[in-house]
Amino acid sequence: MSNSFGLQFRITSFGESHGAALGVVIDGCPAGVTWNESLLAQDLERRRPGASALAGNAVVSPRQEMDQPEVLSGVFEGLTLGTPIAVTVRNQDARSQDYQKIAKAPRAGHADDVWREKFGHSDPRGGGRSSGRETLARVIGGAAAKMFLKSAAPDLRITGFSSRIGPFEVNANDEENFFAGPGDWVQQVDAHAARFISSRHDEVQSYLRGLQEKGDSVGGTVTVRVKGMPLSLGQPVFHKLKADLAAAMMSVGATSGFEIGAGFEASRALGSEFHRGGEAVYGGIRGGISTGEDLVLRVHFKPTSSILDVAKQGRHDPCIVPRAVPVIEAMTALVLADHVLLRRLDQI
Q: What is the pLDDT of residues 98-150, one digit of tens each?
A: 555 655 666 666 777 887 888 887 777 767 677 888 999 999 999 999 999 99
- Rg of the chain's alpha carbons, rounded to an integer? 20
pLDDT of residue 51: 55
CATH value at residue 65 = 3.60.150.10
Number of domains in the chain: 1
Identify whether 244 is part of a domain: yes
Residues 6 or more apart whose CB falls under 8 angstroms from that of 101 comprise none
Handedness of CA 284, 288, 290, 296 (dihedral sign): positive
Answer yes or no: are the C-beta atoms of 334 and 141 closer than 8 Å.
yes
Domain assignment present for residue 134? The answer is yes
Domain that holds residue 184: 4-343
Q: Is residue 198, in this structure, part of any structural domain at all?
A: yes
Lowest mean per-residue pLDDT among 86-95, 213-222, 268-277: 86-95
pLDDT in tens, 69-83: 999 999 999 999 999
Q: Is 142 left (phi over 0), alpha (psi -120 to 50) or beta?
A: alpha
Is residue 348, in this structure, part of any structural domain at all? no
The DSSP string of 67-121 is --EEEEESEETTEE-SSPEEEEEE-----GGGGTTTTTSPPTTSSHHHHHHHHS-
pLDDT tens string 41-97: 999 999 986 554 454 554 555 545 678 999 999 999 999 999 999 999 999 865 555
Kindly give the interhelix angle for 37-47 and 135-152, rounded to the nearest 10 degrees.
140
Cβ pair 325, 162 in contact under 8 A: yes
